[in-house]
């Protein structure tokens, strides 16, 4: 819901250790700086259960720290409840999107809007690529995409 009550966003990628913890931390920092963080429920999760309990990737944490942002997230898999309780489930690539839509079909009262986070990018970079086998520059690119998309997404919801 825009402007009143509570808003909620769940950021999702494959393992919840690279991209979605960055998106979550960036969005929380923006909402905090904008003075609206109390109006939001913000979290991140994985389509896979592979990394459950893991800390974010060290390269992602270093990238965030470089930009003055911390994360103490612990990886978790998306649950059926998430599809009923979150307004938005924002994911990174087409594989995440098809997996989430497949999971949503198994939930009776799925009401979340499932979208690509990149659909909010003013620079029109629709896909936020997996940096797992990439370099520090790839993590930096993910960060910049998250900044652009989260700025636009927050603006749209305020
Ligand atoms: C990733 C990953 C990422 C790839 N985070 N993993 Cl070894 C594996 C197998 C199933 C699920 C997960 Cl999560 C993982 C570990 C964690 N960002 N990206 N794997 C990946 C990238 C390109 C081609 C194949 C894989 C598995």
Tell me the domains of the chain and their CATH numbers.
9-156 (3.40.50.2300)
Secondary structure letter of residue 77 according to DSSP: B
| Cα–Cα dist 116/50, whole Å | 22
Residues 7-21 have pLDDT tens digits of 999 999 999 999 999
Which ligand 1 atom sits closest to the C-alpha of 16?
A: 5
Any atom of ligand 1 within 6 Å of the Cβ of 17? yes
Rg (CA), the chain: 14
Q: Determine the angle formed by the axes of helices 136-156 and 58-66, rounding to 10 degrees.
A: 60
Question: Residue 73 in contact with residue 37, Cβ under 8 Å?
Answer: no
Residues 74-117 have pLDDT tens digits of 999 999 999 999 999 999 999 999 999 999 999 999 999 999 99
Name the closest-CA residue to atom 16, ligand 1.
15
pLDDT band at 66 (very low <50, low <70, confident <90, very high): very high
* Mutation test residue for ligand 1: of 15, 75, 94, 135, the one with most atoms within 8 Å of CB: 15
Does the structure show a pLDDT above 50 at 1?
A: no
* 47 C-alpha to ligand 1 centroid (Å): 11
Give Cα separations from 10 to 50, 123, 133 (angstroms): 18, 22, 24
CA dihedral defined by 92, 94, 97, 103, rounded to 10 degrees?
-130
CA dihedral defined by 79, 83, 87, 93, rounded to 10 degrees?
80
Predicted TM-score of the model (pTM)? 0.97
Annotated catalytic residues are 13, 19, 130
């Amino acid at each position: 819901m825009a402007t009143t009550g509570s808003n909620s966003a769940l950021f999702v990628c494959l393992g919840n250790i690279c991209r979605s913890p960055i998106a979550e931390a960036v969005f929380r920092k923006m909402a905090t700086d904008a003075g609206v963080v109390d109006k939001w429920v913000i979290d991140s999760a994985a389509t896979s259960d592979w990394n459950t309990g893991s800390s974010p990737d060290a390269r992602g944490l270093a990238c965030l720290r470089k930009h003055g942002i911390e994360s103490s997230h612990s990886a978790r898999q998306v649950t059926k409840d998430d599809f009923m309780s979150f307004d938005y489930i924002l994911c990174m690539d087409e594989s995440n999107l098809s997996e989430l839509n497949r999971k949503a079909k198994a939930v009776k009262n799925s009401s979340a809007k499932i979208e690509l986070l990149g659909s909010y990018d003013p620079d029109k970079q629709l896909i936020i690529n997996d940096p797992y086998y990439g370099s520090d520059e790839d993590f930096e690119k993910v960060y910049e995409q998250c900044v652009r998309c989260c700025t636009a997404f927050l603006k749209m919801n305020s």
